[in-house]
Structure 1
């Protein structure tokens, strides 16, 4: 085999690895973000179920689910405090 063919094959393999491997990380980040939003919606569901006794009701939408999903329990507590004292 000629050296040019070997270099072309190696360059083609590197190009294939770059094209296939590049989109994996953004898709993984998007998936993790969606999982956090779903977990935040579950947090809000339990907050609404338990907070109904105290008059706390935080609507479950994309913004509140994102806040509670990415911030966790402190985010849920902040949303509950905003609902209790501000709204």
Structure 2
């Protein structure tokens, strides 16, 4: 009986920890994907005659917004 009780408590604690760690992990993954997309946009952009500076601002835009953020940065670089 005690094993079942402690097993359920352990399962509940595991679910709580996973819920808490989900948000920072998602931000980290989005940031890495955004940085890779920014790098790929620079590679493709070098053939078209433009580059996007990789700095904290562009990395945050690419990380938070993903593909729409990369498109926004490319449009901004081409027209402004």
Give the TM-score of the pair, scaled to structure 2. 0.69
- Show CA shifts across 1:34-76 (max 9, x none): 0100000000111000101222211223332232233222211
1:75 corresponds to which residue? 69
2:35 to 5, 23, 41: 41
Larger Rg: 1
Q: Which runs of 5+ in 1 are unaligned?
A: 1-9
Which of 54, 58, 69 pairs up with 1:64? 58
Relative contact order (C-alpha < 8 Å, sep 6+): which is higher? 2
Q: TM-score, normalised by structure 1?
A: 0.64
Aligned length: 75
> Residue 36 of structure 1 contacts residue 66 of structure 1 at CA under 8 Å; is this kept in 2?
no
Q: In structure 1, how many angstroms separate the alpha carbons of the residues matched to 2:50 and 2:78? A: 6
- 5+ long unaligned stretches in structure 2: none
